[in-house]
Each structure stands twice: as C-alpha cells, then as structure tokens.
Structure 1
C-alpha cells in the first residue's frame, strides 16, 4: 500500500483564501452542479420515454438506465488519479463538454443499442462533474461551517434535479429540442466555473490509502452512502407502485415522489447546521434511525394522505442526510488527495446501492405483498444505523473542531 506523508496543494493554497475568495469558490462549484442537476433531471425521464416510443422493452430500458450506475462504479475510482495530472478546471470543463456532446449524440444516432455506449460515456462525464464538485467544495469549506455548506450543496442539487422534469413538461419530449436544451444546460455548467478560476485546489500527491481501503477506513460515511443509494432508487422506482397496491388513489400515488423530493430540498441545511453543532456521527445515526422509522409508518398511513404526506416529507428530508452528513464526515477527516480518494469510494458505494436497491425492493414487494417495500427500506437503514452506532462506540465520538481547517 503506497503512502505519502504530505499532500501538496499548489498555490493559491486553500488555507490562504480570503473569506470572499472562499465564498466565490464555493459559489462556482454550486453553480456548476446546479446546471448539471437540471440536465440530468431531464435526461432520466427523457431517455426512458423516447426509448418507450421507439418500441424498446421495459427490460431494455432498465438495462440502459443501469449504464449510469455501472459507469459511476467503473470510472469514479480513476478520478483521483486523473486529478494528479490534470488541473481541476480543465477536468470539469472537459466533463461538461463530453456530457453535452454525448446528449446530442442521442439525436445523431437514434438507435437504442447505440445509446448504451453513449449513455456510459455521458454518465461517466457527469460522474466526474459530481465527484470533483464535491471534492472541491469539501476542500475549501471551513470546518465550522462544513455541515451547512454540504446541506446547501444537497439542497441546490435536489432542487435543480427536480427542475429537469419541469423543463420537459414545458417543452415536451418529442423532436430534437429537449435534447438540445438538455445539452445546453450541461454546457452552462462551464460558466459559473469561471468564478472559481485560480481558487480551486490542485492535487499532486497520491492518497495515503488504496481506493478500496478508504471504504474500510471511513465505514460510517461510505456505508451511509451505500444505504442512501439503495433507499433513494427504491423510493423513486417503487413508491408510487407501493402506494397503489396499498389502496391509495392514483392522484395520491402521483404526488408521493413530489412530497418526498420536497423534503429532500427543505431539510438539508437544518441537518447540516445540526451537524456543525454536535458529533456528526450522532447526527448520521439519527438520520438512519428516521430511515428505519419512516418506512415502518407507511403501512398505517398509505390510505390517509393527511398522514402520509407529512411522514414522507420528514422521511425524505432526513434520510438524505445520510449522504449530506456522510460528505461532511469525509471533509472533516480527510484533505487533499486523501479527500479525493475517500470521496471516490463514497460515490462508488452510493452507485452500488443505486444498482442493488431497486432489485432488492422489487423482490421484497413480490415476496411480502403489499408491504415488502417498507420492510426493505427499513432493513437497509437499520444496517446503516447499526454500523454507525458501532463505529461511534468503537472509535469514540468526534466533536467538530472549532478551528478553520479547510
């Protein structure tokens, strides 16, 4: 296992940034991820609907969608190594251009089978934008405000992602226009990057651990990402179906994801604020506990919207804290090349959960009708809760430092 004693951050060092420069740097990364969020939020339903209109089977559509998770798992571990040789600005601009051109390639090559490699490449570019934006923000953020900034990051991404389908509602899904507009949104991500010119960290050293070792070095954070990836994809793929099978009306079933997503957007900054005030692993355990309790309330509330909606709002807002607080824990513990390696492991675990989650939820629903989905969701969260509590008891509590180490 290769180790290095120091991580070099080339000038301007993030420690020396003024408050104004730090805010500008963070704003640039947030603006980048907002543009990408809109584009990605439009791409997922757009491709599914277009493949359906082209006569593709549900299995083929599902396999094509799986290219997203597969690309993240295979490409993300390479990102820390790439960043040692390519400046962060150049890497992000390249990813935005590849994602944009890849989106236009769907129009140029209107064949479902061509869309498999196109989606793999495009999703890899988007993965690069996500992981590097997270590394960037975590690296330049002060320790005392890390939770709040990570909460703001999650809020902006969730909100911008939700705007993608709204954009499609406004322009429709037929013809070239939706692809052209989506590609444009991905290119727009380059514009806010100019705010951070000269203010990005640059990594030149190797991480002190191998990629796989980071999963075990920071298990509370990385397995929280796995749990949230599995929960999120189960909810967005299966919750409307579960609602219908549990006796909800079609109108209620259509709204459940909107309510869940609204919680995603509304509660991340408050959770981040709490994570800046007390031991972050304790906050992570609290998010996992709500992740267990929320689904167990679904069978009793499924047919009563006035109870179901508040439960889904709180559940959706708190359970995404597994991702938000997990990111803050990584930034608290690692910096420089180590942060890049740990963040890559974090994203891979999230992507692995995203791949495994829908299959596990679907099997549970078919095996335990009609309440297999809540059982599956609660089981995944309980795994994260047990691991977090074990890690906190074995390693001792971590109090957020009072200093301003980025």
Structure 2
C-alpha cells in the first residue's frame, strides 16, 4: 500500500466534505439575503442532490479515458470556476446554474474518491481505513458550517474562502495523478461497453447495490424525520434536534469499530451483524423514548450501524472487484444510495401521516431486517473474473 498516496486521497476526501458542509448552508442563507422565495431556495438545494444520477452512468468510462487522478482534479477545478462565476456575475440565474454544476461535481467527487481510495488499499487494512475515511468525512462536514460562521454569507469573502480549498484540492489531485498510476487504472480488465456495464454491475453487485439503496433510505429518513418523531413524543425543539445529533455521533464514531471488526473477523459476517443491530436498535426506539438513559445509546447504535452498513458495502466492493469493474460497481453503489436518499423519506413521511410517528422506526427496522435476511442467504461470492 502506498501510504503517501492514501494520505493524499484522505486529504481530498476531507476537503470535499468540508466544502459540502460549507456550501449547503451558504447557498440557503445567501439566497435568503437576496429575498428569494423559500420554494426557490429549496429548488436550489435540490439541484445539488441529484447530480450523481446524471453523471454516474458516464463515470467508469471517464475514469478509464482520463485517469481517476485527472478526473478528480477536474471535479475540484470546475466548482472553483463556478464560485468564480458567482463572484464575477452575481445574477440569480448564475447562482442556480453554478449550484447544479457544483452539486454534480461534488456528487461525482464523493464516488470517485471512494473508488480511488479503495483501489489503493491492500486488503489487510481496507476495513479500518475505509471506516476512518467515513469518520473523517463526518468531522470535516461538521466543520463546514462552522467555517461559514467565520466568513459570513454576504460579500466576496465567503466565495473566495470556498475557492481556496477547491484550488488546493485540484492541485493535490494533479500531483497525485502525476506520481504514478493508481490501483484503479493498473488493471485493464476489458470491461464491456454500454448498457452491458450496468448489467454487469447488477449481476455482480446486486446485493451490494441493495445495501446502498437501503442505507440511503434509512439514513435520510432518520436524519430528516427524527426531529418530527421527537416532537410527536412531547420533546422540545432543542431536545428533538439533539436526537439527530446523537444519531450523527454514532455515524462518526461507531463505523471505525465496525471497520476494525470487519478486518479481524470477516466483512460479510460483520455486515450481516451490523444490519441486524440497525434493525433491532431502530425497532427499540418506541420503547426507549422518554427513557433518557436508554435512549441515547440506542440512537447512537442505530446511527453507527446504519452508517456502518454503507461503509462495509464499500469495503466489500474493494475486496471483490478490481480495475474497471471496481469503478462500475462503485458508481452503481453511489447511484443506488442517492436513489434511496432521494425517494426514501417521502413514502415514510406518508406512512407517518397515515399511521402516526411510530411508522418511522417500524418501517426503517423492517427494511433493515429484510436486508439482513437477504444478506444472510448463502450466495456465490462475486469476483473480478466474472463476465
């Protein structure tokens, strides 16, 4: 394992997360200062969340043609130019166009840096480092809004402050790209072209794509609807918000332990176990609401295992696939997670309207229990040699 390259990629992941956490509140607050209607501000945020569904089908071929390092450098450079366009042409239409471009690039960065890191790791330490990258992402994403608090949302300074790490990310990516080929590019496995690539992703990575889809549903639904769940149980606004904070703390901390266990005791068995714990912890929520001592650890476990299921899916992809197949299945994984995130909270919110607040933990727990049963079935392990 080339430690210096792995360290560089981890820096890129941290930079990407910092900018992601910075850009979401920046655009919302800055557009509010321009007296835009709330629905337009919401539309602007939505433009940032669907990018991977547009660019995902083209990522594997682009990685193969450009090289993953050059592509990552480009994905940092384009948002740099987008912030520059806002700085020079501060028209609302430019803000919307730039947000769509940035959202697309950040979504692609999320997938490509995962692919790049996975391709550089040796299998012995894959789980621990992938899990640590997830914790790093969560910490840097948390720091983004704090940085915005220091820069403010008006004037040119917040735009310049965002452009500095983007320029650094583009430069670092270019340097890493010029220091030799990556693990993604050293194996040319003659991946099939066109639609057959996605048949390959589904045939080899079908269970893993289901892991991603369910993780997207569970994580988005819990983070967005937990405050409403707390309010329905008589909590104050502040206490209901703290439910999300405890859930997110589990996401940041527990995934490291799961990565270590996966390296020591087997990735698939730990994935099945984490899925079961996610189902049980979520199902326990109706019984521990109002029990302060029990509620916090249950929420912590739910957040950590739901995030851990996603992380362990990434680890398994790196274990089972190499070269272009790694890029194809990883991109499918990112698209499946995004699809779950986009559609997950809406049907669960509708179930809450029909059946009450307990529909949130019951539906998420049922989804993860079904996923666990599916994963526990014996199946042939996919390999990089499959066609």
Do both proteins adopt the same fold according to a TM-score greater than 0.5, normalized to the shorter chain? yes
Match runs of 1:138-287 below 5 Å: 138-193=118-173, 194=175, 197-201=178-182, 202=185, 206-208=190-192, 210-287=197-274
User: How far off its partner does 1:179 sit?
Assistant: 3.1
Q: Give SS of 2:271's match.
A: helix
User: How far off its partner does 1:53 sit?
Assistant: 4.0
> What CA distance in whole angstroms lies between the structure 1 residues aligned with 2:89 and 2:246?
37
Match runs of 1:321-400 below 5 Å: 321-390=308-377, 393-395=378-380
Q: Is the 8 A contact 2:85 2:94 kept in 1?
A: no
Q: Give SS of 1:130's match.
A: helix
In structure 2, list runs of 5 or more residues that go unmatched.
Answer: 383-387
Out of 29, 35, 40, the residue aligned to residue 9 of structure 2 is: 29
Q: Give SS of 2:81's match.
A: helix
Q: 1:338 to 1:239 in 2, by over 3 A?
A: same
Q: Give SS of 1:395's match.
A: coil
- Root-mean-square deviation (Å): 2.4
Q: Identify the residue that residue 306 of structure 1 maps to in structure 2.
A: 293
Q: 1:48 to 1:230 in 2, by over 3 A?
A: farther
| Deviating more after overlay: 101-110 vs 375-384 | 101-110
Q: Is the 8 A contact 1:39 1:183 kept in 2?
A: no
Q: Identify the residue that residue 403 of structure 1 maps to in structure 2.
A: none
In structure 1, list runs of 5 or more residues that go unmatched.
Answer: 1-18, 399-406
Q: Is the 8 A contact 1:266 1:317 kept in 2?
A: yes
> What CA distance in whole angstroms lies between the structure 1 residues aligned with 2:190 and 2:92?
40
> What CA distance in whole angstroms lies between the structure 2 residues aligned with 1:359 and 1:58?
19
What's the TM-score once normalised by structure 2's chain length?
0.89
Q: Give SS of 1:261's match.
A: helix
| Deviating more after overlay: 184-193 vs 324-333 | 184-193
What whole-Å deviation, never above 9, does each CA across 1:23-44 have from its counterpart, x for those lacking one?
1111111100101100001112
Q: Identify the residue that residue 7 of structure 1 maps to in structure 2.
A: none
> What CA distance in whole angstroms lies between the structure 1 residues aligned with 2:84 and 2:94?
13
> What CA distance in whole angstroms lies between the structure 2 residues aligned with 1:248 and 1:62?
27
Match runs of 1:87-126 below 5 Å: 87-108=67-88, 110=90, 114-126=94-106
Q: Identify the residue that residue 385 of structure 2 maps to in structure 1.
A: none
> What CA distance in whole angstroms lies between the structure 1 residues aligned with 2:189 and 2:153?
46
Q: Is the 8 A contact 2:74 2:170 kept in 1?
A: no
Q: Does 1:137 align with 2:117?
A: yes
> What CA distance in whole angstroms lies between the structure 2 residues aligned with 1:109 and 1:376?
46
What's the TM-score once normalised by structure 1's chain length?
0.85
| Deviating more after overlay: 289-298 vs 73-82 | 289-298
Q: Give SS of 2:61's match.
A: helix
User: How far off its partner does 1:323 sit?
Assistant: 1.4
> What CA distance in whole angstroms lies between the structure 1 residues aligned with 2:71 and 2:46?
24
